[in-house]
Amino acid sequence: MTSFLDRLRIELPIFQAPMAGVSTPALAAAVSDAGALGGIAVGAVDAADARTMIAEVRATTARPFNVNVFVHGPPRADPGREAAWLAGLAPAFRVYGAEPPTALRAIYRSFAEDDAMLGALVEAAPAVVSFHFGIPEPRRVSALRATGAVLVSSATSLAEGRAAEAAGVDAVVAQGYEAGGHRGVFDPTAPDERLGTLALTRLLVQRLGVPVIAAGGIMDGAEIAAVLRLGAVAAQLGTAFVACPESAASPAYRAALLGDDVHTVMTSGISGRPARCLVNRFTTLAEELTNGTPALTPPDYPIAYDAGKALHAAATARGEHGYGAQWAGQGAPLARALPASELVAALTRELRAAEQGSATRTD
Amino acid sequence: MTSFLDRLRIELPIFQAPMAGVSTPALAAAVSDAGALGGIAVGAVDAADARTMIAEVRATTARPFNVNVFVHGPPRADPGREAAWLAGLAPAFRVYGAEPPTALRAIYRSFAEDDAMLGALVEAAPAVVSFHFGIPEPRRVSALRATGAVLVSSATSLAEGRAAEAAGVDAVVAQGYEAGGHRGVFDPTAPDERLGTLALTRLLVQRLGVPVIAAGGIMDGAEIAAVLRLGAVAAQLGTAFVACPESAASPAYRAALLGDDVHTVMTSGISGRPARCLVNRFTTLAEELTNGTPALTPPDYPIAYDAGKALHAAATARGEHGYGAQWAGQGAPLARALPASELVAALTRELRAAEQGSATRTD
């Protein structure tokens, strides 16, 4: 257990989840400087922006950090499905005086086919590279491995964990159904057993030969202590860091997360892939469309996200923030707004206290 | 924390889930004799049988045990829905040379309206009485409290936990989405946030004033140690005990649970309420019917269960065991077949080892 953290050269068994669009170089640097593993995600930017982001982290910290890429299968354009989805969203656009786009495009490129991004990562050589939605082909894995990077893949099932291990990753993030944001399922059209963080982490610890990092619903040090008891080498927390001032979350997103009666739901309607979001106007609309008559199916990821972002922009222009992708995990009610360094310090105090048998929070 | 176990007069922070149809007086007695809290469920029997079962436990052990009742809202008969459901099941009946029943009935009586059962429990005065699916009206709670029983309710959400606390229960079982068998949701028609064991347990520990017992996906001592770190006073394990020789599980159910590639799914198609079951012929058929065209809705619990039991009987008569209610939680792949006393001893060794930092299993 210690050896994996030693290999990563981090002191604390805490990973900050590399949340595309929410994490920032400043957040990652603050977390890494505090002794945990900060992370940025480059799935929503191109290689040039990725280089800039990595340089920004390095301008602030000399500590190791994680760069996350999206390795989704190529989206299949389906003009009929896309037109039906846009027609379903159209009344919501019109509430805000807008029209839906006439066509949609795949707004993000998968790392599976992005040679420029591979080149940027090989050149920048971050200490950790993590994969979401799947594993790149062997030559890409080998190229990253040759940089000395520690390679990590998410897994939501034993089958995905075994595939990641077979592909040669150094560790697996067990992403439980509780987790906020995009669920890492490799094939979003396959049945999903929706394994919870506790059951999945323990199963992967028992069955895999590589270290397991637990993720999903973890918000405080007592929960970190809990997943370490399962045999995880570390816990990965995303939602816990969303309300940090260093994140890119909008004021409306922060306010929603820190509200009084906070609930989340898994939806494919925002981006085209299952993702856990705060219940808001968009998740409610998506549920209506996908359960309506006829029941609509969102376009493939990330084509649907093009529509979702347009709707969010139209609503925001009229002051309505409820169509944002307000990703959050099931631990959302326990979120707190602290600077990243203070949050890491609180998590550490709570972890130590829990190890001594006291499951208290320090907020 | 210790004081709650002291009040229960048990040594170990382990509850055996009181699984209707699977647990037996012999299982409950063996678990209680081993220092944990055994349990029986009387939701599927009448008051006379409940008296007999309680007497059978007491014939074997002098230790405290738990008697669980179902407190579901009254089912609403709906002849059209029931006829459509039976028509949907009919082809499966015919494969086994049978016809579906011509009408369905509510095969179980809710404790909410069962005065005979209340009388039996008041007379027998078990050490613990636990509620599933809801809380009885105040006069029933008061009558049970007057016996000195410790009262426990399941909760799948903060709202249910608060309702249980307001009704005066002594402790709450945080039943995560991982859990096998019937999900304890009070209102099965309301949206279900599907909170996982880790997130739900921590939330209830933080927000309620009563002790919390964690349930869902817990199969070994490392997982018990984990939920204790969350601040739970104990862990409740069901699936872990299904393969014990003292359980009433059929040979086919045991074989399915201990198979090589075990998966579970939440379905309302077997009984009419969401319940987690091993993926088998019945769960596959139920998914087809509820997602078909037209999409069928199962009759209310327990009316649908009347049909489900008839189909299981018809298939079993021809040697097909895949229509059984093979309830199991997401931890099913980690099930083991040990006598209950040996299982409790193994859980205890693993718990102690995990408390020392070693997340090993002893099987």
In this predicted complex, what is the ipTM?
A: 0.96
Question: Do residue A118 and residue A145 come from a single domain?
Answer: yes
- Using pLDDT thresholds of 50, 70 and 90, give the confidence band for residue A1: very low
Phi, psi of B112 (to 5 degrees): -60, -25
User: Which tokens belong to B113?
Assistant: 């309206």
Return the number of CB contacts < 8 Å for A and B: 129
> What is the extent of the structural domain holding A4?
1-74+110-249+335-363
- A152-187 residue pLDDT tens: 999 999 999 999 999 999 999 999 999 999 999 999
Q: Does residue B210 form part of some domain?
A: yes
Q: Do B218 and A198 touch (CB under 8 A)?
A: yes
Residue B234 DSSP SS3 = strand
Q: Does residue B255 form part of some domain?
A: no
Task: Identify the pLDDT of residue B3.
Answer: 85
Q: Does residue B256 form part of some domain?
A: no
Question: Do residue B84 and residue B231 come from a single domain?
Answer: no
Question: Do residue B278 and residue B220 come from a single domain?
Answer: no
Task: Identify the pLDDT of residue B184.
Answer: 98
* Residue A363 clears pLDDT 70, i.e. is over it: no
Question: Do residue A218 and residue A290 come from a single domain?
Answer: no
Query: Does the pTM exceed 0.95?
Result: yes
Question: Do residue B141 and residue B186 come from a single domain?
Answer: yes
DSSP code of residue A298: P
How far apart are alpha carbons B349 and B357 in whole angstroms?
A: 12
Question: Do residue B233 and residue B293 come from a single domain?
Answer: no
Question: Do residue B18 and residue B158 come from a single domain?
Answer: yes
* % residues pLDDT > 90 (chain A): 96
Q: Does residue B254 form part of some domain?
A: no
Specify which residues A175 forms β-bridges with.
A215
- A191-206 residue pLDDT tens: 999 999 999 999 999 9
Q: Apex CA A50: angle with CA A48 and CA A52, to 5°? A: 75
Question: Do residue B198 and residue B272 come from a single domain?
Answer: no
Cβ burial, residue A60 (10 Å; 0-12/13-18/19+) = middle
Tell me the chain A residues in contact with residue B229 when contact means C-beta distances shorter than 8 Å.
222-223, 225-226, 229, 354, 359
Q: Give A246's contacts (C-beta < 8 A, 6+ positions apart).
A: A24, A26, A27, A30, A339, A340
Q: Does A114 touch chain B (CB under 8 A)?
A: no
* Residue B175 clears pLDDT 80, i.e. is over it: yes
* Cβ–Cβ under 8 Å, residues A46 and A58: no
Strand extents, DSSP E, A28-104: 38-41, 65-70
**CATH number of the domain encompassing residue A147:** 3.20.20.70
Number of domains forming the structure of chain B: 2
Task: Identify the pLDDT of residue A362.
Answer: 67
How far apart are alpha carbons A216 and B217 in whole angstroms?
A: 15
Looking at CA atoms only, how far is residue A7 from chain B in angstroms?
20
Distance of CA B289 to the CA centre of its chain: 25
How far apart are alpha carbons A70 and A332 in whole angstroms?
A: 24
How far apart are alpha carbons B193 and A83 in whole angstroms?
A: 31
Q: Does residue A257 form part of some domain?
A: no
Looking at CA atoms only, how far is residue A83 from chain B in angstroms?
23
**DSSP string of A40-85, one letter each residue:** EE-TTS-HHHHHHHHHHHHHH--S-EEEEEE-PPPPPP-HHHHHHH
Question: Do residue B237 and residue B269 come from a single domain?
Answer: no
**DSSP string of A186-244, one letter each residue:** S-TTS------HHHHHHHHHHH-SS-EEEESS--SHHHHHHHHHTT-SEEEESHHHHTS
Task: Identify the pLDDT of residue B360.
Answer: 72
**Residue B93 amino acid letter:** F
Residue B191 CB neighbour total at 10 angstroms: 12
Question: Do residue B144 and residue B83 come from a single domain?
Answer: no
Q: Does residue A80 form part of some domain?
A: yes
- A284-343 residue pLDDT tens: 999 999 998 889 999 999 999 999 999 999 999 999 999 999 999 999 999 999 999 999
Tell me the chain B residues in contact with residue A216 when contact means C-beta distances shorter than 8 Å.
196, 198-199
Partner residue facing A198 (CB), from B196, B203, B359: B196
How far apart are alpha carbons B292 and A358 in whole angstroms?
A: 50
E strand or H helix that includes residue A129: strand A128-132
Question: Do residue B344 and residue B280 come from a single domain?
Answer: no
How far apart are alpha carbons B94 and A208 in whole angstroms?
A: 44
Question: Do residue A103 and residue A115 come from a single domain?
Answer: no
How far apart are alpha carbons B183 and A165 in whole angstroms?
A: 34
How far apart are alpha carbons B91 and A289 in whole angstroms?
A: 32
- Using pLDDT thresholds of 50, 70 and 90, give the confidence band for residue A2: low
Q: Does A233 touch chain B (CB under 8 A)?
A: no
Q: Does residue A100 form part of some domain?
A: yes
Q: Does residue B32 form part of some domain?
A: yes
